[in-house]
Structure 1
């Protein structure tokens, strides 16, 4: 019987997106043992059988990590989708992460694992990005905004328990939204003067989304945090005041 620390480390590495063979080599175990543990059958240090399976926080009365959920929810609203597979009603949640920001992809995998412990988090390579996700029958329970068609073509409204989480963890929610559909950039402004043009630079945050509802969720969270914003155009929200940018820098910052 393997020590419990080996079991825990193997499952943690598996959730991070490593293949079964990579995890097996790192931990000195067999691929079959890893798959056995991931299905939920493993032994506790005292020798008694203990079954740990991925449980839906909405269906099984399991505590939900609010901070991780708020961040993952922001990612889902921006660059995520849920699709039903052909495997007996199983769904896949997938968040598309730009390959230029590996830190965000890693943080996405950690958030999925925290929201639904026990799932294997994997990555699927696409052109210029990776789809970070996991399979479960319960993703529509966790994200009731799931539905047919693109998000901006249908109403996006929060249910009561989601609203409570978004209000309590507004910073994590904003962070997820910006990591998906936003950025921190440098704006350059030209000022024509008699002795020649002068250029001024200042940092600002931009968030762009086609859904009126999702933009409103973003600006409501900014209002809750006391961060000033303005609407640049129909789809884009800007945060440019020095004090407002400084507040976002405290918990968002440049992508990484």
Structure 2
């Protein structure tokens, strides 16, 4: 682990025009570490990491310290995330992986920020893939924080929130809904044609759709909508729609576009 002075010196050298390799050579840090520090600074996160125990492993167990970041990350995980073991099994290290499309670079940044907020002592990596970016972080405690982890695809097994997660979602439904919509949702303008004797007339209005193969995850989404009194309806077997003007306006207040 490099100290704060080394990190700040490396960034100062980069600001002077040195390359990653040159800054790494002069500070004695690895090139990968210098690149990570630059990325953290560019994302406005800072270059120092504060230690944090797992809130679920302490006694008595408590919810995460950053409930809104956790609620958002929970939504992203249920939509496009997975947890898998890495390294030797006896080490007990797990990787939380969330896939974000290249079309939404802002989503990549928000996902990384949420991971850092929930586990600030663990490194977050951005791994380019074909058409997407894998945001991942290794920790022994991801299964503690996301007990929905299990073998098989999420839509083929039971998904339910733990009591402490239910309480957190009740207190912060906006963050949870936002994460779900940023993973498996979309906001678009719907166009409807109405035939009239004088000629066809077109109507346009915005709507949100949330599509997920898991019945349980769709129910978690609609339960959170109910907490905010946002009207919704099932569009088909796998899609929930919010199309009424008051519901769309309420979602617009806190969801925001993918960008």
Q: Distance in 2 between matches of 1:65 and 1:24?
A: 37
Q: When the two structures are superposed, what TM-score results if normalisation uses the length of structure 1?
A: 0.82
Distance (whole Å) between structure 2 residues aligned to residue 33 and residue 25 of structure 1: 8
Partner SS, residue 220 of structure 2: helix
**Contact 2:50/2:120 (8 A) holds in 1:** no
SS at the partner of 1:64? Answer: coil
CA contact (8 A) 1:24 1:34 kept: no
Aligned partners of 2:138 and 2:240: how far apart in 1? 33
Match of 1:57 in 2: 55
Q: Would the aligned equivalents of 1:24 and 1:30 in 2 still touch at CA under 8 Å?
A: no
TM-score w.r.t. length of structure 2: 0.81
* 1:42-81 alignment, distance < 5 Å: 53-60=51-58, 64-81=65-82
1:159 aligns with 2:157: no
Report the CA distance shift for 1:59/1:222 in structure 2 as closer, same or farther (over 3 A). same
CA distance in 2, matches of 1:105, 1:203: 25
TM-superposed CA distance for 1:55, in Å, is 2.8
- 3-state SS of 2:115 partner: helix
Shift of 1:220: 0.4
Q: 1:195 and 2:198 equivalent?
A: yes
Correspondence for 1:82: 83
Number of equivalences: 232
- Residue from 228, 240, 244 that aligns with 1:241: 244
Say if 2:9 and 2:27, in contact at 8 Å, map to a contact too: no
Q: How has the CA–CA distance of structure 1 residues 200 and 218 changed in structure 2, closer, same or farther, with 3 Å as cutoff? A: same
Cα root mean square deviation, aligned? 2.9
Structure 1, gaps ≥5 residues long:
12-20, 39-50
Tell me how far apart the structure 1 counterparts of residues 70 and 22 of structure 2 sit (CA, whole Å).
29
Q: For 1:25 and 1:188, how far apart are their aligned partners in 2?
A: 54
Distance 1:166 1:119 in 2: 24
Measured in 2, the distance between the counterparts of 1:24 and 1:57 equals: 40
Contact 1:68 1:114 in 2 (8 A): yes
- Tell me which residue corresponds to 2:141: 138
Give the gaps of 5 or more residues in structure 2: 12-18, 37-48
**Distance verdict in 2 for CA 1:67–1:25, change over 3 Å:** farther
Query: What displacement does 1:54 show?
Result: 4.8
Distance 1:141 1:175 in 2: 22
